[in-house]
Structure 1
Amino acid sequence: MTADISFVDLILEASLLVQLVMLILMGMSVVSWAMIIKRSKVLKEATKESETFEDKFWSGADLAQIYQDVKKRKDDLSGTEEIFYSGFTEFLRLRKSNADSPAFIMEGTGRSMRVAVSREVEDLETNLPFLATVGSISPYIGLFGTVWGIMHAFIALGEVKQATLAW
């Protein structure tokens, strides 16, 4: 005695609530994978840009010249270039007004760079709270659907006079 049970039949014969749970889980999965793929591309590009800038920075070139090159593209900056631009701009501004206080200049430069780092990290962490939420609640949503389905299976078995597991 064999029962031909297909995956599609199981979905179609499930209760409306179980189908809704499966649809929610599938939707969250699709959205999550789209975000993961997008974040992966963004992180890969950020890594490449960072390595390119670091090679230029550590090449021994004049920092003022690097700053001028970066300043020409200031609307398209991201990552380490943005941090460098922010820090060097603040350094030049503070050096004009407080040339006799190197500690103050370095403190202000460091503060400016920390703010730029925070902004860049925030940009790179976009959508992580959503992904973390989906990752933590999905097992419970799936478990709810499973328990609901099992409860209805036992109720149906209880309503028949002769209970068998045959299809």
Structure 2
Amino acid sequence: METEAVNALALSGSTEAIDLSIWGLFWSAHWIVKWVIIILAFASVWCWTIIFAKTKKLRWLKKNGDRFEESFWSGGSLDDLYDQIGQRPDHPMAAVFSAAMREWRRSLSRRRAGSPMTGSVQERIDRVMHVTVAREMERLESYMTFLASVGSTAPFIGLFGTVWGIMNSFQSIAASKQTTLAVVAPGIAEALFATALGLVAAIPAVIAYNKISSDLNRYAGRLDAFSGEFSSILSRQIEETV
């Protein structure tokens, strides 16, 4: 009984010297585990930067899209709206409108020059709007692959750090020839820390990727719907002009 008490006291005294704080785990970890922690921490910070930037951008797009559609459907002149937007539209819906109006004005200028307006005008306008939508969506979807990559690979990177930490624990046991908590705890702690950090990086990335992808798909549908409605308007004007 006395021997067990002495062992327990020694074990208690040895574990008090172990620093299990985040910084303590990092500085005491093996250099490979340190690199795992650095990579996961950087990935997590960059993911949150992308998440906040995309969320802010989508809110801005919705606000400006509502304002533009209000102006578009107000009954005013499309030429006046185009002149107001100018050659450098500041959001995708205005870019689609500007591209279509630019092609429409070119066709009108050819007609005034004596060239007949053919049915291919509608095809060119539709093609221009389709290309503009694709280009704008490609720009909005930038960095989304990084979120997907972090969401799928971060747990495995953390698992690699976990395996390495456990291997360090076994090496410590073999070197000290003891299985006390003081010998095992540092390696196990850094292993679990790597696992936790991998999940901290992956879970928000997966949730944000699904949410932002859904919002982007919904916005792409809104652009396609606007393109179809504007194409119908220009189609009627082409029929009246021919």
Bin of the TM-score, shorter chain as denominator length:
0.7 to 0.9
Structure 2 counterparts to residues 94-105 of structure 1, below 5 A: 94-97=107-110, 99-101=116-118, 103-105=119-121
Match of 1:6 in 2: 20
User: SS where residue 64 of structure 2 aligns?
Assistant: helix
Cα deviation, residue 131, structure 1 = 2.5
1:44 aligns with 2:89: no
User: Aligned partner of 1:151: which letter?
Assistant: M
User: SS where residue 75 of structure 1 aligns?
Assistant: coil
Match of 1:19 in 2: 34
Structure 2 counterparts to residues 1-167 of structure 1, below 5 A: 3-4=15-16, 5-7=19-21, 8-71=23-86, 74-97=87-110, 99-101=116-118, 103-166=119-182
User: Aligned partner of 1:53: which letter?
Assistant: F
Question: Aligned in 2, Cα 1:161/1:127: closer, same or farther, shift over 3 Å?
Answer: closer
After superposition, give the CA deviation of every residue in 1:113-167 in whole Å (9 maximum; x if it has no partner): 1111112112211222222222222112111111100111122223333423356
Identity %: 35
Larger radius of gyration: 2
After superposition, give the CA deviation of every residue in 1:14-43 in whole Å (9 maximum; x if it has no partner): 111111210111112112212222222222
Cα deviation, residue 76, structure 1 = 4.5
User: Aligned partner of 1:31: which letter?
Assistant: W
Q: What TM-score does the superposition give when structure 1 sets the normalisation length?
A: 0.85
- Structure 2 gaps of 5+ residues are 1-7, 184-242
Question: Aligned in 2, Cα 1:110/1:76: closer, same or farther, shift over 3 Å?
Answer: closer
Q: What TM-score does the superposition give when structure 2 sets the normalisation length?
A: 0.61
CA distance in 2, matches of 1:15, 1:141: 15
Question: Aligned in 2, Cα 1:76/1:100: closer, same or farther, shift over 3 Å?
Answer: closer
Checking the alignment, whether the CA contact within 8 Å between 1:91 and 1:109 is kept in structure 2 is yes
Checking the alignment, whether the CA contact within 8 Å between 1:17 and 1:145 is kept in structure 2 is yes
Cα deviation, residue 78, structure 1 = 2.3
- Structure 1 gaps of 5+ residues are none
User: Aligned partner of 1:54: which letter?
Assistant: E
Give the helix-richer structure, 1 or 2.
2
User: SS where residue 94 of structure 1 aligns?
Assistant: helix
Question: Aligned in 2, Cα 1:12/1:100: closer, same or farther, shift over 3 Å?
Answer: closer
User: Aligned partner of 1:84: which letter?
Assistant: F
